[in-house]
Amino acid sequence: MFIKIMLATILLVTVNAQWSAWTEKTDSVCPETCGMCGVKVVATRTCTGVCSCSGPSQRYEECGSKMCLWPRKYVFSTCCAGYKKGVLPSRAFECVAIPTIAAKTRIA
């Protein structure tokens, strides 16, 4: 009887893995200062339990929206991949995301 209870307790503990609360990271530094080329970690969480948790353990934020001076070493654009030059309401230039266009499917 004791072995069955012990086995049921072990199985219950391993199945119930959970994420901790998000912890903000205030010391994260952006590796790039322009072109939307950099990404920094803004929050982390830890999986508690024996099994793995589903979902990401870190939250990221893109950084460096100002356009890079041109030419730039190894980068031949003022904005990095996935971004283009855009004009803000203040008439300043920044790198903005290139919108993705959903492919149209044709039904025969």
Q: Give 24's contacts (C-beta < 8 A, 6+ positions apart).
A: 42, 43
Q: Please state the domain extents for the chain.
A: 2-97
Q: What is the DSSP letter of 69?
A: P
pLDDT at 95: 84
Is the pLDDT at 12 greater than 80, yes or no? no
pLDDT at 59: 92
Q: What are phi and psi of 83, to 5 degrees?
A: -130, 155
For residues 84 and 23, the model is more confident at 23
Q: What is the DSSP letter of 65?
A: -
Nearest of 23, 5, 21, 24 to residue 13 by alpha carbon: 5
Say if CB 63 and CB 34 are below 8 A apart.
no
pLDDT at 14: 47
What is the spatial distance between Cα 35 and Cα 69, in angstroms, rounded to a whole number? 9
Give tens-digit pLDDT for 28-71: 888 777 788 788 899 999 998 778 888 899 998 888 878 777 66
What is the spatial distance between Cα 73 and Cα 89, in angstroms, rounded to a whole number? 30
